[in-house]
Amino acid sequence: MTRPELRADLTAALAAAVVLTGVQGFAPALPLMRVQLGLSDLEISLLIVGYLLPGALCAFPIGIVADRAGLARTVSGALIVFGICGVLAYFWHDLGSLLAIRAVQGAMFGGVLALTIIATGAAGDTQRITSAQSRRVVIMTCAEGVAPLAAGIVLVNLSWNSVFLLQAVALPVAVLCCRMLPKSVPGARRRVSTAEIVRASRRAVFSFAGAAVQAPGFLRFFLKYALLTFVPLLAATTYGLDPLEIGVMLALASLAGACMAAAAPWFARGTSVGTLLGISLTLTALPIVLVPVAGPVGVLALLVVLTGAGDGLLAVVNNVVVTRLAPGDGKAAFIGLTGGIRSAGKLSAPLVAGLLAEAIPLGLTLASLGVLGLTAIAVVPTIARLLDGVDDAP
């Protein structure tokens, strides 16, 4: 790997980490916002859903822009809009203004997350992509821990709306992306029309093989967000854990995920991507199936840590799969559409799990979702065959 390639990979990972300030760096301010602005539970949820939904819907069109206008230019522009929105929210923070600002921010968030996948090692072979995606996942996992901490420090020492200024960090990162990221989408074969980009990316997604490629990513985020929403409730109501103990358990799961993501390049040296995909799906979903029979709280914590480890490995392997199988025409649009499908998993998880929890106990609800996650193993042979047909030359 050359130094410019490494700098590009690290810059892309930094860009992805920075936009996490819109969720992880925003969540600690919600209790204060509720008091200061007199918001209801529904209005608080709108601030989150109104951020994630545009991200799901706009990642595809932003990917088309990147295919046409260039990768570095598009990522930089999205980061500039994201950072400016953070500054605007500091000054205009009534509910209506915040909803509008966060909708624009969320759209940029979805675009940046998707485009930084294709910007990370995308022009290399499988080993190179695995190493690059491993670094990206580790950096983002660390950012998921640092962003709430930074927000907490700001909230303790400054006004509650000062937390929005953390998002202005995207502005200098935008300049860095303009200089360090590839000007065009890596591996793209030729400049094509918008219609051709849309057709190629849709064909790559809306087919049996395309659906097989998308299933692990959708289910990964579906399980992750269901776990983050309902495991704390289960731990508190069934096991009597306090918030600090729950936080420690989830932090250990994140740490396990980061360690597995860091080890992914080592695993990939002697194991095929298809095999790693099957292992990571099993490690992510099977512990959730076992939650109802966990018994002692230590066993519950172990299961949560194991599924966190599986999620870290799955994050890397799934990014390798979609990067290797992205069509030559409309690569960024394909990754954008992939990002939208993953975001659908984030949005649907709390709703589906909540409806199930109304009918059956919480432990059985999580186990049912784990069984659903295990069904994704059925698509692994299809994905393995598709990968076998891809030339592994850079």
Assign residue 120 the CATH number of its domain: 1.20.1250.20
pLDDT, tens digit, for every residue of 163-182?
Answer: 899 999 999 999 999 999 98
Quick one: what percent of the chain has pLDDT higher than 70? Answer: 95
Last residue within a domain, chosen from 164, 187, 210: 187
Average pLDDT for the chain: 86
Task: Note whether 247 and 290 are same-domain residues.
Answer: yes
Tally of structural domains, the chain:
2
What is the C-alpha to C-alpha distance for residues 262 and 242, in angstroms, rounded to an integer? 31
Share of the chain above pLDDT 90, in %: 37
Say if 364 falls within a structural domain. Answer: yes
Whether 193 maps to a domain, the answer reads no
At residue 109, the pLDDT reads 93
Within this chain, do residues 247 and 383 fall inside the same structural domain, yes or no? yes
Co-location of 218 and 357 in the same domain: yes
Same domain, 212 and 241: yes
Residue 196: inside a domain: no
What is the span of the domain harbouring residue 212? 202-388
pLDDT digits (tens, 9 = 90+) for 207-219: 777 888 889 999 9
More confident residue, 60 or 83: 83
Q: Are residues 219 and 344 in the same domain?
A: yes
Q: Which tens digit of pLDDT belongs to each residue from 61-75?
A: 998 898 888 899 999
- Phi and psi (nearest 5°) for 199? -65, -45
Inside any domain, residue 43: yes
pLDDT at site 336? 87
Are residues 183 and 219 located together in one domain of the fold?
A: no
Is 99 contained in some domain? yes
Kindly report the number of other CB atoms within 10 A of residue 76's CB atom: 23
Last residue of some domain: 187, 211, 234?
187
- CA nearest to 27, candidates 175, 159, 144, 114: 144
Same domain, 69 and 124: yes
Is position 195 within any domain?
A: no
Asked if the structure places residue 212 within a domain, the reply is yes
75 and 214, same domain (yes or no): no
Q: Based on the domain organization, do 144 and 287 belong to the same domain?
A: no
Same domain for 292 and 155? no
Give per-residue pLDDT as tens, 197-256.
777 777 767 777 788 888 999 999 999 888 877 888 888 888 888 877 887 888 888 889
What pLDDT score was predicted for residue 394?
41
